[in-house]
Amino acid sequence: MSDAEIRVAVLGARGRMGAEAVQAVTDAEDMQLVAELGRGDARETIVEAGATHIVDLSVPDATEDNVRFAVEHGIHAVVGATGWDDEKLSRLQDLLSEHPDVGVLIAPNFALGSVLATAFAAKAAQYFESAEVVELHHPNKVDAPSGTAARTAQLMGRARRDAGVAPSPDATQKDPDGARGAVVEDIHVHAVRLRGLVAHQEVLLGSPGEQLTIRHDSFDRASFMPGVLLGLRTAASRPGLTHGLDGYLDLGL
Ligand SMILES: NC(=O)C1=CN([C@@H]2O[C@H](COP(=O)(O)OP(=O)(O)OC[C@H]3O[C@@H](n4cnc5c(N)ncnc54)[C@H](OP(=O)(O)O)[C@@H]3O)[C@@H](O)[C@H]2O)C=CC1
Ligand SMILES: O=C(O)C1=N[C@H](C(=O)O)C[C@H](O)C1
């Protein structure tokens, strides 16, 4: 084993994503899987196992504490678990300023196609009168809207605001049951939960007489693994917080 080897602890290792990541890390020649943690397992195991990196694929309620533990112990973190709102991100930034050698990637989505779709949507959003997001997932998902949809809407909304675009036209006066969906940065976000689905998203952009739809589909969790491995291979060389796998890619957009 070389000193430079990436020694990985997977958190949420028995979950849908975690199990896939355990296999991907095991198969990677430049990595060693040194710990697999689930709910109730002591985080100290990560340190005892000599991990240089964690992959956090646990749950929104646990991820902040997991990442805090890693950073405080000088361990790089690649994070796919959702729930990272602005408050948590800001606390993490503060923590990282005390640990300037540690790299953390918070990746709402590891699939390259999804990362590109979000970047395209952010780029296109200012050119259309109307913009909405529809995310579609398997019914075992515990959070809504998805982390990917929330981030996509946030980037779209900010781009529209910076360009001076008005909020999407909407004559709705009565919506007692929330049929118009969640609102993130002035963008409506709709969540579908349907047996048979994995992870899908449509960004709808409309102007008089035309519509642009930017759709991405993950049919299998294998789609996320190249992004997880890229995150693990890059995090140590990118100290501080990176929000979005696009931060490790040169998309040129
Ligand atoms: N960024 C990306 O590309 C992707 C992100 N995700 C996100 O990853 C997360 C996991 O998704 P998914 O695998 O489908 O969910 P699962 O429910 O299948 O897996 C979550 C796992 O985390 C375990 N867990 C709970 N608490 C802790 C804890 N404190 N420490 C360690 N493990 C814990 C759970 O154990 P138990 O079963 O005992 O509760 C469970 O095994 C979600 O937030 C999801 O949105 C999912 C797909 C892609
Ligand atoms: O829970 C999931 O499955 C997924 N979660 C992430 C999210 O909330 O965006 C990524 C992907 O959509 C799959």
Q: Are residues 213 and 225 in the same domain?
A: no
Q: Are residues 43 and 102 in the same domain?
A: yes
CATH label of the domain that carries residue 19: 3.40.50.720
How many domains are there within the chain?
2
Atom 26 of ligand 1, residue of closest alpha carbon: 39
User: In terms of Cα–Cα distance, which of 144, 152, 131 is closest to 204?
Assistant: 131
Q: Are residues 156 and 206 in the same domain?
A: yes
Whether 141 is catalytic: yes
Q: Say if the ipTM goes beyond 0.90.
A: yes
Whether 88 is catalytic: no
Binding residues for NAD(+): 12-17, 36, 80-82, 107-110
Q: Are residues 74 and 142 in the same domain?
A: no
Whether the predicted model's global pTM rises above the 0.90 cut: yes
Q: Are residues 142 and 199 in the same domain?
A: yes
Q: Are residues 10 and 77 in the same domain?
A: yes
CA atoms of 103 and 233, how far apart (whole Å):
11
Tokens read off for 14? 């028995």
CB distance 80 to ligand 1 below 6 Å = yes
Atom 13 of ligand 2, residue of closest alpha carbon: 199
Per-residue pLDDT of the chain (253 residues; tens, 9 = 90+): 444 589 999 999 999 999 999 999 999 999 999 999 999 999 999 999 999 999 999 999 999 999 999 999 999 999 999 999 999 999 999 999 999 999 999 999 999 999 999 999 999 999 999 999 999 999 999 999 999 999 999 999 999 999 999 999 999 999 999 999 999 999 999 999 999 999 999 999 999 999 999 999 999 999 999 999 999 999 999 999 999 999 999 898 7
User: In terms of Cα–Cα distance, which of 92, 81, 86 is closest to 57?
Assistant: 81
19 CB-contact burial (10 Å; exposed 0-12 / middle 13-18 / buried 19+): middle
Q: Are residues 20 and 92 in the same domain?
A: yes
The answer to whether residue 196 is domain-embedded is yes
C-alpha Rg value of the chain to the nearest Å? 19
214 CB-contact burial (10 Å; exposed 0-12 / middle 13-18 / buried 19+): buried
Q: Are residues 48 and 137 in the same domain?
A: no
Residue-level pLDDT at 42? 97
For ligand 1, the distance from its centroid to the CA atom of residue 54, given in whole angstroms, is 14
CATH label of the domain that carries residue 163: 3.30.360.10
CB distance 223 to ligand 2 below 6 Å = no
The answer to whether residue 1 is domain-embedded is no
Q: Are residues 146 and 213 in the same domain?
A: yes
CB distance 148 to ligand 2 below 6 Å = yes
Q: Are residues 209 and 158 in the same domain?
A: yes
Residue-level pLDDT at 253? 76
Q: Are residues 101 and 125 in the same domain?
A: no
CA atoms of 236 and 223, how far apart (whole Å):
23
Q: In what order do the strands lie in the sheet with 6-11?
A: 31-37, 6-11, 53-56, 76-79, 103-106, 240-243
Which residue range is the domain that position 37 belongs to?
Answer: 6-106+221-248
Cis peptide before 145 (omega within 30 of 0): yes
End-to-end CA distance of the chain: 39
Non-local (6+) Cβ contacts of 61 within 8 A are 83
Residue-level pLDDT at 4? 57
The answer to whether residue 253 is domain-embedded is no
CB distance 63 to ligand 2 below 6 Å = no
